[in-house]
Structure formats: structure tokens, C-alpha cells
Amino acid sequence: MVIRKFFRKKRRRQHEISPDEIFAEATNVSHFNTDQFEGRIEKPIARNTFILVGIFVLCVFTFFLMRMYFLQVYKGERYAQISENNRLDSTPIFSERGIIFDRFDQKLAWNIPNVDTSDYSLREYTDMSGLAHVLGYVTLPATDSLGRYYQTNFVGKAAAEKVFNDVLTGENGTKIVETNALGDVLSEGIINDPRPGENINLSVDSRIQNKMYDVMEELANDVGFEGGAGVIIDIHTGEILSLVSYPEYNVQAFSRGEDSSYISEVLNDPKKPLLDRVVSGLYAPGSVVKPFVAVAALSEGIISAEKEIISTGSLVIPNPYTPSQPTVFKDWKAHGAVDMRKAIAVSSDVYFYEIGGGYEDQEGLGIERIEKYMRLFGFGEGTGIVLPGELSGTIPNPEWKEKVFNDEWRLGNTYHTSIGQYGFQVTPLQEVVGTAALANGGMLLEPSIIRSKGGYTSVKRIIDIKDEYLQVAREGMRLAVTDGTASGLDVSYVNIAAKTGTAELGARKDFVNSWVVGFFPYEEPKYAFAVVMENGPVDNHLGGVYVMRTLLDWMHINVSEYFSL
């Protein structure tokens, strides 16, 4: 009995009750919140977890050691240099921009001290009118929000400042400034000195430029012209003595950029003061094309200079479909019988209708040959001038009409093209270059706004036309001054040869462009000119001739050397 109790006690000791058994028995207790782990016991973290964490920490520590080795040892020298440079700052030493002079060394654009900063000078321009479209303007060096220069040069934005920017711009120097961690300047030194830009001499005479502009402005205000353009060129060198576009803008204001209201006003002005009308203005030429049509007719042998054509005031073309409604092409007046020289002088439309398009027994050039000779004299293409924005204009032809109007070419279109109307468009610069070729014997020049050294001449091409034919045109233009439409230029101090033109505008033809082109002195030509006053009232009798006459009278008193033989 005792032995049995002993073994029973021993067996009870070998089967102790575990806590899990206790909790397992408690799972049915309703007040345990199992979501909060009530009724569970904590277990120790596994040994493998400590091993994984240790490996991760060792990897991180190894990575930082390797990175420190890379930065301090492998790339140490390089980053030491970068660190050094972080306390060395380079700043530009601005070079002086080249000065722009006129042909007689009159300053037109130069540099003045800048009261706002000593870093760079400001660009200053002459206050003489008429030079905006020759000079142009610049933008100033610019900084970012931290005061560091991201634009380290003056940048030319128009005319001479733009096209000669590389010449006028010098080479900036460099200054190194050493600072400490607090930004205090420790030392500074110049690495290289700045090199100033080169000066240039334009070919223009600023005196003539200024006077021509003033005359245009006065006439436009008095009469009501919307704009105007004038140009004078040396017929042997191609140098431009005067290139005026009215209206113009204040280049000083555009360069400084401070008066935003003025700049906005100019940009939105319907008269387009930013437009250089000499190179980018397109105008119907009117009768100023007639000397070129005359030379073409002589060269093609369709008429002699002496043959007369009678102008009764109109040319009547029968209508085969409706005989009672013939087509009538009017002359501006009845001129009677005129030969070629007289036709140029009095500007007979009927004469040029007939040699341009033909009539009865008079053969006409036709539009193909008219276009051919107009292109020989430089129309329909750029002149090659360096000024930006040059346009080539339009010589009407059947392909052009088909493209623009989706219609076929008719005889009347040839008639109108022969007198510089219809879709004909030219620039004043093309007109003066073509007129210079008439005067100099057939050299088509490439115009220049830089004063040439040693009489350099840039010839675009030699026009293969007999000088005797050009001479007929020259004589007709001289006759226009002594006894024709350009009699306003018949002055005592120099002999002028000229041709006028009046191009009608608008559906009701209430407005006109008033032209005059020519050259002087007639005996030994030196200079050619072209002037157009734009979009003026049709009943006004002052225009291109008035501008040129007023200018010539002023030149006779103030710069008479231009008239010497």
C-alpha cells in the first residue's frame, strides 16, 4: 500500500501542468480580449533574428567605410580642388563695346559710366533723328536672382549693332575673388584683362540722314502720309550715304528697357516704327519701272528710241464677245505723239502699255521678257545688304496669279505690270540699286553700310546690256527734270536725272505712294537716290519730289561737296 502511494506521487511529479495548458483551458473565458493578446504568453526572440540584424548593421557600416575611402582617398584630390574652388568665385570684367561712327567720324553710339553699377558701362546713342534703323540697339548684361551674370555681353538686337555684333563685342576679362566660410573677401586677382571691341565707321553721312528724316516727318505731319523711306547710294562703290525710314523709334529706350509703357506703345503702333521701310517695306512702284521697261524693249529690238506712239488719253481694247463694252486702259493724261525719251519724261502710260503688252502693229515684250529684265536689274531678289529683314518683293507673272488668285493671266495684267501696278512690289533699296545700274553703265552693286577703304566696290553682277540703250533711259530721266514730271528737281547748282511714280492704293484709289528715283550729277553720275512717301491722300501734290528737292537745297548750302564734278 505504501509502495503504491510512492509510485503514484512520483508519476504526479513527472507530469507537471504547463502554462499553455492553463491558457488553453482559459480560451473559453468570455471576458478575455484576444485582440489585445489577453490569454497569451510572451515568447523569447529567436537567435536567428539577432544574427540577421547584426549582418545588416555590419553591411551598413562597411558601406560607409567604403564611401569614406572613396571620397577621402580615391577621389580625395579632386574633391579637395572642388572644395578649394567653392571659396574661389570668378566674375567677368566687362570689355568696352566698340564705338560706331559715321563716315566722317561723328560718334553715333558709344559707352558712358553706369551710375547703378561699376561692373559695365551703358550704351549711349546720338540724339540725331533718322538713325534708328541704321544703328539698332543692344540689350545689357543680365543677372539671375543671386546676382550672378548669365548674360555677360551686350547683345546687338537690330541694324548695325546686330550685324556687326561680333566686331563690336570685345573679350571679357576674368577676376577671381577668394572668400572664407562666412563669405568675407580674403583676396582677389585678375586672371586675364578684358579686350575692347573694335570701332567701326558706317558709310552714312549723319548730317544728310538727319535732314532727310526731318523733311519726311514734316511732310508726313502736314499732308498725312503714313510713312516714308529714302536712300542715297554711291553708284561706284555701293556705299549708302543715307538710309532713312520714317517713323522710327527711340533706340536708347529700347536698349535700357526701363520704359515699358513706351516700348509697348511702339510695338502696338499701327504705323510700325520698328519696320525698316528701306529694306523691308514693299511698295507698288508705279511709273518708276518705266526706264527699265524701255531698256528691255530696246534690247529686244521691238521698237526704236525714235518711234512715236500716240497717246489720246487711253488705250481701247475691243471686246470680241461684247463689242459695245471694250476694255479701256487709261493714261493719266493725253500726251499726243511721244518717242521713248519723251514717254519717260512725261510718264505716258499708253506708250508703255503698247511696248509692254503690244497693240495693233506694235509688238509687246510680254510678261516673260518683262520679268527677265526686271530680274536683271535686281528686282524680285535681295540686294545682299547685311541689314536684317530684307524682302525680295514680287514681279507678277502667270504662275504668281494662278497661285494667288487661282486665275489665268490676261493681256490687261501685262499692261498694268508694264507701268508698275497690279501685283508689282519692290523695296526702296531695290529701286536705288537698279537706278544706280542705269547710271553706272550696268553694274548691279551690292549695297553696303560700312565705309569702304580704298574705294572697294562690291559688284553683284554686270548686266549685259548695251550702254547706248541705258543712255536712252538716262536721257529720258534727264528730260523728266527739264521738261517733265520731275521738274521740281530742276535746280541750278547740279543737273539731276529722275523719274517719278504714283502708285494708286485701295479699291477706291483714294491713297497713293509717291515715288521719285534718280541720280546726280547727270554728266558724271556719282550718287543715285530713291524716295517713297507712303499712303498719302490722292489729291495731294507733294511727295517724293518735295522731299528730295528740300534735301538737295539743304545739301547745296551745307554739304556742297557732293555736287562737285
Q: What is the pLDDT, as a whole number, of residue 357?
A: 95
Among 33-42, 121-130, 349-358, 542-551, the minimum mean pLDDT is found in 33-42
pLDDT in tens, 289-342: 999 999 999 999 999 999 999 999 999 988 877 877 888 999 889 999 999 999
Residue 423: CB atoms within 10 Å: 16
Query: Does 125 have pLDDT greater than 50?
Result: yes
In order, the DSSP letters of 364-410 are --HHHHHHHHHHHTTTTS----SSTT----B---HHHHHHHHS----
Please check whether the two domains, 89-201 and 215-308+358-563, share a CATH topology.
no
Query: Does 2 have pLDDT greater than 80?
Result: no
% of the chain exceeding 70 in pLDDT: 84
User: Which residue type occupies 417?
Assistant: T
What b/e sequence results for 244-263 when a residue is b if at least 16 CB atoms lie within 10 Å of its CB, and e otherwise? bbbbbbbbbbbbbeeeeeeb
How far, in Å, CA of 354 to CA of 414, rounded? 10
How far, in Å, CA of 357 to CA of 451, rounded? 43
120, 221 contact by CB (below 8 A): no
How far, in Å, CA of 552 to CA of 562, rounded? 10
How far, in Å, CA of 515 to CA of 454, rounded? 33
% of the chain exceeding 90 in pLDDT: 64
How far, in Å, CA of 547 to CA of 529, rounded? 11
Short-list 468, 516, 477, CA closest to 495: 477
- The mean pLDDT value for 57-73 works out to 73
The pTM for the full model equals: 0.81
Cβ-based neighbours of 359, under 8 Å, separated by 6 or more: 315, 353
Cβ-based neighbours of 15, under 8 Å, separated by 6 or more: none
> Quick one: which H or E segment has residue 80?
helix 76-86
Q: What is the pLDDT, as a whole number, of residue 428?
A: 97
> Quick one: which H or E segment has residue 394?
none
Query: Does 196 have pLDDT greater than 70?
Result: yes
Q: What is the pLDDT, as a whole number, of residue 72?
A: 63
Give the CATH fold of the 215-308+358-563 domain.
Beta-lactamase (3.40.710)
360, 310 contact by CB (below 8 A): no
Q: What is the pLDDT, as a whole number, of residue 6?
A: 47
- The mean pLDDT value for 369-393 works out to 95
Specify the higher pLDDT residue, 80 or 544. Answer: 544
DSSP character at residue 389: T
- The mean pLDDT value for 368-376 works out to 97
- The mean pLDDT value for 395-414 works out to 94
Q: What is the pLDDT, as a whole number, of residue 61?
A: 77
Give Cα 202 distance to the centre of its chain.
18
Specify the higher pLDDT residue, 83 or 247. Answer: 247
State the cell numbers at 131: 538713325
Mean pLDDT, the chain, rounded, equals: 87
* Termini Cα distance of the chain: 164
Query: Does 232 have pLDDT greater than 50?
Result: yes
Specify the higher pLDDT residue, 148 or 221. Answer: 221
503, 511 contact by CB (below 8 A): no
Query: Does 393 have pLDDT greater than 60?
Result: yes
Among 72-76, 162-166, 245-249, 278-282, the minimum mean pLDDT is found in 72-76
User: Which residue type occupies 316?
Assistant: V
- Domain positions in the chain are 89-201, 215-308+358-563
Short-list 217, 213, 226, 218, CA closest to 537: 226
- The mean pLDDT value for 188-198 works out to 80
- The mean pLDDT value for 252-280 works out to 93
How far, in Å, CA of 217 to CA of 277, rounded? 14
Cβ-based neighbours of 265, under 8 Å, separated by 6 or more: none
Q: How confident is the model at residue 546 (pLDDT cuts 50, 70, 90)?
A: very high
Short-list 541, 513, 456, CA closest to 284: 513
Query: Does 181 have pLDDT greater than 80?
Result: no
Q: Is 201 helix (H, G, I), strand (E, B) or coil?
A: strand
Q: What is the pLDDT, as a whole number, of residue 306?
A: 97
Specify the higher pLDDT residue, 432 or 316. Answer: 432
Specify the higher pLDDT residue, 208 or 26. Answer: 208
Q: How confident is the model at residue 180 (pLDDT cuts 50, 70, 90)?
A: low
Specify whether domain 89-201 bears CATH 3.90.1310.10: yes
Q: Is 57 helix (H, G, I), strand (E, B) or coil?
A: helix
**What phi-psi label fits residue 366: left (phi over 0), alpha (psi between -120 and 50 degrees) or beta?**
left
How far, in Å, CA of 21 to CA of 36, rounded? 20
Q: How confident is the model at residue 186 (pLDDT cuts 50, 70, 90)?
A: low
259, 253 contact by CB (below 8 A): yes
Query: Does 49 have pLDDT greater than 90?
Result: no
